[in-house]
Amino acid sequence: MSDLLNAQAFTSQVQNYCFRLKPDQDLKKELLTFAQKHQLKAALVLSCVGSLKKAHIRLASGKETVEYNGPFEIVSLTGTLSAEGIHLHISFSDFEGRVRGGHLMDGSPIFTTAEIVLQENMDLKFARLDDAETGYKELVIQRRSSV
């Protein structure tokens, strides 16, 4: 039987947060600030529509970061958030429709707006713990009652 079939799955009640970021606010920093201010334990990005002045991302190699000058349309933003930390991937397009993407880094300011909807799993907690296999802090999902 595959590991996927043996994987533990979690269900939870949810709560949504809807808000807007304004020009020059840093997308990643503001999302972390929001998670900390509202003491989010296990949230995810449902939607993000907007634009960036520039995009600062880490590429798939996990080592190199690149900064692109915009403006750009945010095509997608996905990831997990908690007051302890966030892990976000972004795709963005330029005026010719070329799309780039990667791991969102600090230094990605909003151009005109970012309309954001987050969803928090009220029965869960996301933690990030060192993983010897990957060398990164990886997601660990726990029930809040067991924490």
pLDDT (tens digit, 9 = 90+) per residue, 46-99? 999 999 999 999 999 778 999 999 999 999 999 999 999 999 999 999 999 999
Q: What is the pLDDT of residue 146?
A: 54
Model-level pTM? 0.89
Both structure tokens of 82:
């908690």
Q: What is the pLDDT of residue 132?
A: 92
Residue 1's pLDDT band (cuts 50, 70, 90) = very low
Both structure tokens of 67:
């900064």
pLDDT (tens digit, 9 = 90+) per residue, 15-38? 999 999 999 999 999 999 999 999
Please tell me the class of the 13-122 domain.
alpha beta
Both structure tokens of 81:
């958030």
The answer to whether residues 27 and 109 touch, using CB atoms and an 8 Å cutoff, is: yes
| Per-domain boundaries in the chain | 13-122
Residue 136's pLDDT band (cuts 50, 70, 90) = confident
CA distance 145 to 71: 44
CA distance 125 to 141: 6
The residues near 143 (Cβ < 8 Å, ≥ 6 apart) are: 10, 123, 124, 125
